[in-house]
């Protein structure tokens, strides 16, 4: 059967969305259908891929010179199947990890920031994006006075587990780097969640989110810029979430310097 092209086909070079696929009779042509099945398989694989903690600790060590090695922890979800069925268990540490953090030395002055790396729903996103993003962020923070807690890695974790980690570390703010739910064109998307004064029991209203951090989405440079600005304002105002707005676009329009470039969209 003849494949009939879609007149919007030229727009496909501008987006990864499934548009202008054409048709064969009343169905998709074979090639787009096979592409869909492949992307669906990649998304499923990303959900079930285990986090290679040892390799991630080594990769983070390369971008955290002078800092302690990242500390591996685990949520209360004992395995991936339980993690997917019990979101509540992924939001808190298991007993051993909780006790391990509680026993850590606490500085006289609280840490300004704790970075918590969480596999979430895509360990692939964390393995690929967390080390280079942290490198980009630290380049910005090192120009200012930020005391940073030991980095932690939580396997089988969800965003809210960062509140418990930040509270145990005595950090003023916590940033959770988490693998986002894979999409059919983005199995490797990483999200960033900022919370001021982290403590167990906070809701999403207390957090600021930056999404789709990856080379094909929001670049590491641009995401680090956004997060740096939010961190500055969070520390200045001592708040986060719905009361803290992303004003980076307004700052650009006012002529604020940003370095090499910044994504306006």
User: What pLDDT, in 10s, does the model give residues 36-83?
Assistant: 888 889 888 889 899 999 999 999 999 987 788 899 999 999 999 999
Distance CA 214, CA 220 (A): 7
Judged on CB neighbours under 10 Å (0-12, 13-18, 19+), 232 is: middle
Instruction: Tell me the three state secondary structure of residue 264.
Output: coil
How far, in whole angstroms, is CA 186 from its chain's centroid?
Answer: 13
**CA nearest neighbour of 263 among 207, 208, 214:** 214
Domain ranges of the chain: 52-253
Beta-carbon contacts of 7 under 8 Å, excluding residues fewer than 6 positions away, are 20
Its CATH architecture, for the domain 52-253, is 3-Layer(aba) Sandwich (3.40)
How far, in whole angstroms, is CA 194 from its chain's centroid?
Answer: 10
**CA nearest neighbour of 158 among 96, 85, 88:** 88
- Given a cut of 70, whether residue 1 has pLDDT beyond it is no
pTM of the entire predicted model: 0.86
Distance CA 256, CA 254 (A): 6
pLDDT digits (tens, 9 = 90+) for 201-254: 999 999 999 999 999 999 999 999 999 999 999 999 999 999 998 877 655 545
């Amino acid at each position: 059967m003849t494949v009939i092209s879609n007149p919007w086909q030229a727009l496909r070079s501008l987006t990864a969305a499934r548009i202008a696929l054409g048709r064969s009779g009343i169905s998709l042509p074979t090639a787009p259908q096979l592409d869909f099945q492949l992307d669906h398989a990649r998304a499923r694989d990303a959900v079930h891929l285990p986090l290679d903690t040892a390799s991630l600790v080594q990769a983070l060590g390369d971008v955290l010179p002078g800092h302690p090695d990242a500390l591996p922890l685990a949520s209360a979800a004992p395995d991936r199947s339980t993690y997917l069925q019990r979101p509540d268990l992924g939001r808190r540490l298991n007993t051993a990890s909780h006790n391990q953090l509680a026993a850590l030395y606490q500085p006289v002055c609280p840490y300004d920031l704790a970075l918590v790396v969480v596999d979430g729903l895509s360990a692939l996103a964390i393995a690929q994006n967390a080390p280079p993003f942290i490198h980009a962020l630290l380049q910005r923070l090192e120009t200012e006075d930020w005391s940073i807690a030991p980095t932690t890695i939580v396997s089988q974790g969800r965003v809210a587990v960062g509140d418990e980690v930040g509270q145990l570390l005595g950090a003023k703010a916590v940033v959770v780097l988490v693998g986002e739910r894979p999409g059919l064109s983005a199995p490797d998307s990483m999200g960033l969640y900022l919370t001021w004064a982290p403590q167990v029991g906070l809701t999403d209203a207390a957090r600021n989110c930056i999404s789709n951090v990856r080379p094909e989405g929001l670049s590491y440079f641009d995401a680090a810029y956004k997060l740096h600005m939010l961190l500055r304002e969070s520390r200045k105002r001592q708040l986060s979430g719905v009361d803290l707005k992303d004003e980076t676009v307004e700052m650009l329009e006012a002529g604020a310097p940003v370095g090499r470039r910044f994504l306006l969209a």
